[in-house]
Amino acid sequence: MKKRYLLLAALTLGLHAQTIQKIRFEGLMHLSPTIAKEMLGIHEGQELDMQKIDDALKKFYQQGYFKDIWVEEHNGELVFHFVEKPLISQIEVVGYLENKQEELSDILGIKKGDLFDEAAIQKAKARIIAYATKEGYFDTVVEVDEEKLSNGSVKLTFLVNKGEKVIIDDLTLCGTKAFDKDDIEDVIANRERNPYLGWMWGFNDGKLKLDQLPYDAARIKNLYMTKGYLDAEVTDPFLRVDFDIYKAKLLYHVKEGEQYKVAKVDVELLKPVAQKQNLLEDMRLEPGEIFNIEKMRKDMEKLRIKFQDMGYAYVRIVPDFKKDPKTHTVSIRYIVNPGQKVYIHDVIISGNQRTLDRVIRREIYLAPGDVYSYTDLKESKNALRRTGFFSDVKIEERRVSQDQIDLLVNVKEMPTGSIMVGGGYSSYEGFLINAAITDKNIFGSGIDGNFQVDLSGKSLRFNVGVTNPHLFDSDYSLGVNLYSTKFEYYDYTEERKGGSVTLGKKLTRHFYVSGTYAYERNELTDVTGNYDNFYFPEGTYTKSSFIPAVRFDNTDDYYVPRHGLAASASLEYAGIGGDEKFVKTYLKGAYYYGFEDLIDYDLILRIKARVGYVYDKGYLPVFEKFYLGGMSTLRGYQTASLSPKDSQDRLVGGKKMFSSSLEASIPFIKNSNMRLTFFLDYGGIGEDKFTEITRMGTGIALEWISPMGPLQLVFARPINDEKGDRTSSFEFSVGQRF
């Protein structure tokens, strides 16, 4: 800048009458000479104008590209010299934040490829300190090392020495009577440290969260509003910090006031588009009860959804309070302005590199010309997640006119196919080799196919199947499966070959029915002792059966559901020809509930149950009976190792079976889609009763949406195992819903 003004002074003194013969630029990289000349506003043939040159230099500096600019004139040639700022080619953070590589650009506000700018560096230092303070670290020190590289770029190294945590060792609440201190600490972010257990996860650690401090008074006020204290007043927090020992004292003054009850709840429509009586149905806040602001918010949300499901996407609902201080009652009137009914203008799909548009579009319950519906929009998103094709689904609304919107459907595809070759070792089967090719979305068509071979010292398994869940893009589905299995059990050898054909139909968005015809040929050999005389003789047997089934699924994701219910029921009737004659019923269900909206933590509760019953109608082989144990029924015990036994201690299967699981799943490595699940399993099996044999198991499972598909590693231990039980401490599975 100094050069610039010295030169301008020289030009001003001696070159007033000079005519510009030529204009030249030296050192430009980010701007082309053509654009620079347009910005200059000076042309050849014009007289030299000091003010225009000064204005041009200011414009160039405002671009932010240049470290220095100066101008020279020689025999009518005007030369602009530029020194551009160097590029930042490397950014490194040492110390605090060095493990947050993915978040660094957002935290710093600068990234590789940006121009070096001293002001931006100082802002980055301030942002690091602000981030540390937000996390409760005070007196954080940041130094920046600038290293010029051989290519002219700059490497920045931020040396961050995070400060100390301030601990709240005293929280004082003056004037609180309706709530205990513990009740208030449940809703605020800044809490008093537990003097004995503050170091343990789940107990108050007392760490000061400065960014949350301005909101804690509002949280306390909101708590009082949930119990009807509409006149409650909470002062701003008074915080006193001793930076010598990094301890703080926090004080609030609370004036509670009186508790209010609801006198009346009403709805006022600015446009008569609905019946008031229908709108007031299912309201949680009712006359005569204590006012609760959370119930009021949920009632407003219910009203909003009701109007949006009628097409009023931009409905506005304003609550109007009328308090009566004498009777301590409040009347609530919801003023509703529905606005205009909105229609779908277009559905625009993006993000799908492999999956065909029509496969996505058939899961969306809104199409161009349809009336807008919030519920349809939400269930469309859940339906896309249930396919198992996508790791993320977003549907945004873009308003194109007063009564039309576009739906922008953006999907993030996940691997649906895998080629696996693996092995293992079992104490019974010896070394195991397996190979599988699976794809839930063949060529992006939505068709599910699988091929699998397993080989061990005791078994050979082969399976191939294909299912089209939307035959000709309809609500009908068709599946074909072929398999062959040979397994040397403890007391006999079984070879099974068969196949099945399944035709299904989607009746509603969440309800499915299907019918399966299965044919199977079983050959039994190497039966030990008198086992064959008691249960079945050696030889070949056939099964011909029909299996009607129903299924309900309104979960919000295929692999890691957080909300919803998945349940199914089937009835297998064997005896349509063939040798085997029995009726088998099987019920299965899983309920999922995510707590993130309640506690701001991605905890998922899962409750799972299975019940089976088989009725002998003439010939029921032991392999058609039920067995407990393994990942699908009872973890901590070997697969199919629990059942009634005969006098020679051989497994003969049970006619009645149940199993149940309680699971709590939490994030483990969020960026890698890993979760930890703690589980407790309980099950029972018997010939005449469900509880003739009961067992329990517990443990931890590592769940990972891996590049080769969902992978689950289970570490389990039995709880009430008995002598002779075959237990298992480790199992794994690929491709199953968690």
| HEC string for 363-394 | CCCCCCCCECCHHHHHHHHHHHHHCCCEEEEE
The answer, yes or no, to whether residue 572 has pLDDT greater than 90, is yes
Q: Specify the pLDDT at position 418.
A: 66
**Homologous superfamily, domain 261-337:** membrane protein fhac (3.10.20.310)
Q: Specify the pLDDT at position 428.
A: 54
Q: Are 690 and 660 in contact (CB under 8 A)?
A: no
Q: How far apart are CA 254 and CA 240, in angstroms?
A: 18
- Reported as half-sphere exposure (CB side, CA atoms, 13 A), residue 92 has a value of 10
> Which residue has better confidence, 29 or 529?
29
Mean pLDDT of 639-660: 88
> Which residue has better confidence, 612 or 672?
612
* CATH class for the domain made up of 343-413: alpha beta
Q: How far apart are CA 472 and CA 485, in angstroms?
A: 33
Q: Are 155 and 144 in contact (CB under 8 A)?
A: no
Task: Give residue 278's identity as a one-letter amino acid code.
Answer: N
> Which residue has better confidence, 352 or 114?
352
What's the CATH fold of domain 489-734? Porin (2.40.160)
In which residue are the tokens 């005449």 written?
A: 688
Q: Are 637 and 727 in contact (CB under 8 A)?
A: yes
Three-state SS at 274: coil
End-to-end Cα distance, the chain: 64
| pLDDT tens for each residue of 257-305 | 999 999 999 999 998 888 888 888 888 899 999 999 999 999 999 999 9
Q: How far apart are CA 258 and CA 264, in angstroms?
A: 18
The answer, yes or no, to whether residue 377 has pLDDT greater than 60, is yes
Q: Are 239 and 252 in contact (CB under 8 A)?
A: no
Identify the band that residue 334 occupies on the pLDDT scale cut at 50, 70 and 90: very high
Three-state SS at 300: helix
The lowest-confidence range among 52-66, 312-326, 356-370, 683-697 is: 52-66
> C-alpha angle with apex 619: 616 to 623, nearest 5 degrees?
85
Q: Tokens in use for 299?
A: 């009632």
Q: Specify the pLDDT at position 52.
A: 76
Task: Give residue 627's identity as a one-letter amino acid code.
Answer: Y
Q: Specify the pLDDT at position 200.
A: 66
The answer, yes or no, to whether residue 7 has pLDDT greater than 50, is no
**Strand spans (E) along 459-510:** 459-468, 476-488, 493-506
Q: Specify the pLDDT at position 530.
A: 56
Q: H or E segment at 510?
A: none
The lowest-confidence range among 3-12, 37-46, 365-374, 627-636 is: 3-12
Q: Between the CA of residue 421 and those of 154, 207, 282, 436, 449, what are the distances in Å?
A: 47, 49, 55, 7, 17
Q: How far apart are CA 497 and CA 604, in angstroms?
A: 40
| pLDDT tens for each residue of 65-88 | 777 788 887 777 888 888 777 888
| pLDDT tens for each residue of 440-449 | 888 888 898 9
The lowest-confidence range among 328-332, 393-397, 703-707 is: 703-707
| pLDDT tens for each residue of 211-250 | 888 899 999 999 999 999 999 999 999 999 888 888 999 9
Dihedral over alpha carbons 429, 434, 439, 442 (to 10 degrees): -130
Identify the band that residue 549 occupies on the pLDDT scale cut at 50, 70 and 90: very high
Q: Specify the pLDDT at position 101.
A: 72
Mean pLDDT of 115-123: 83
Nearest 5°: phi and psi at 128?
-65, -45
The answer, yes or no, to whether residue 518 has pLDDT greater than 90, is yes
Identify the band that residue 359 occupies on the pLDDT scale cut at 50, 70 and 90: very high
In which residue are the tokens 């699998």 written?
A: 452
Q: How far apart are CA 32 and CA 43, in angstroms?
A: 16
> Which residue has better confidence, 134 or 708?
134
Give the start-to-end residue ranges of the domains of the chain: 2-84, 89-161, 166-255, 261-337, 343-413, 417-473, 489-734
Q: Are 233 and 300 in contact (CB under 8 A)?
A: no
How many C-beta neighbours within 10 Å does residue 259 have?
16
Name the nearest CA neighbour of 95 among 146, 120, 129, 136. Answer: 129
| DSSP category for residue 276 | H
Residues 6+ apart with CB under 8 A from 83: 27, 66, 67, 68, 69
Strand partners, 392: 412
Q: How far apart are CA 531 and CA 539, in angstroms?
A: 13
Residues 6+ apart with CB under 8 A from 59: 39
Task: Give residue 683's identity as a one-letter amino acid code.
Answer: G
Burial class (CB in 10 A: 0-12, 13-18, 19+), 687: middle
Q: Are 665 and 606 in contact (CB under 8 A)?
A: yes
- Pairing verdict, β 493-506 and 476-488: antiparallel
Q: DSSP characters for 529-556?
A: TTHHHHT--SEEEEEEEEEEEEEEE--S
Identify the band that residue 118 occupies on the pLDDT scale cut at 50, 70 and 90: confident
Q: Tokens in use for 223?
A: 């708590």
Tell me what the pLDDT averaged over the chain comes to. 85
Strand partners, 207: 167
Q: Are 243 and 167 in contact (CB under 8 A)?
A: no
Q: How many residues does the chain have?
A: 738
Q: Between the CA of residue 605 and those of 37, 331, 378, 590, 595, what are the distances in Å?
A: 66, 38, 21, 10, 8
Identify the band that residue 1 occupies on the pLDDT scale cut at 50, 70 and 90: very low
> Which residue has better confidence, 318 or 7?
318
Q: How far apart are CA 684 and CA 170, in angstroms?
A: 52
Q: Does domain 89-161 have CATH number 3.10.20.310?
A: yes
Pick among 3.40.50.10440, 3.10.20.310, 3.40.50.300, 3.10.100.10: CATH of 2-84: 3.10.20.310
- Percent over 70 (pLDDT), the chain: 91
Q: How far apart are CA 609 and CA 611, in angstroms?
A: 7
Task: Give residue 614's identity as a one-letter amino acid code.
Answer: V
Task: Give the distance from CA 270 to its chain's centroid.
Answer: 39
How many C-beta neighbours within 10 Å does residue 722 have?
8
The answer, yes or no, to whether residue 389 has pLDDT greater than 80, is yes
Q: How far apart are CA 532 and CA 330, in angstroms?
A: 80
Fold match flag (166-255 vs 489-734): no
Q: Are 70 and 57 in contact (CB under 8 A)?
A: no
Q: Are 425 and 448 in contact (CB under 8 A)?
A: no
| DSSP category for residue 235 | P
Identify the band that residue 677 occupies on the pLDDT scale cut at 50, 70 and 90: very high
Q: How far apart are CA 44 and CA 77, in angstroms?
A: 9
Q: How far apart are CA 61 and CA 153, in angstroms?
A: 20
Q: How far apart are CA 253 and CA 611, in angstroms?
A: 57
| pLDDT tens for each residue of 574-612 | 999 888 999 999 999 999 999 887 777 889 999 999 999
Q: Tokens in use for 328?
A: 């301590």
Three-state SS at 142: strand
Burial class (CB in 10 A: 0-12, 13-18, 19+), 627: buried
Pick among 3.40.50.2000, 3.40.390.30, 3.40.50.2300, 3.10.20.310: CATH of 166-255: 3.10.20.310
Q: Specify the pLDDT at position 295.
A: 92
Q: Are 386 and 440 in contact (CB under 8 A)?
A: no
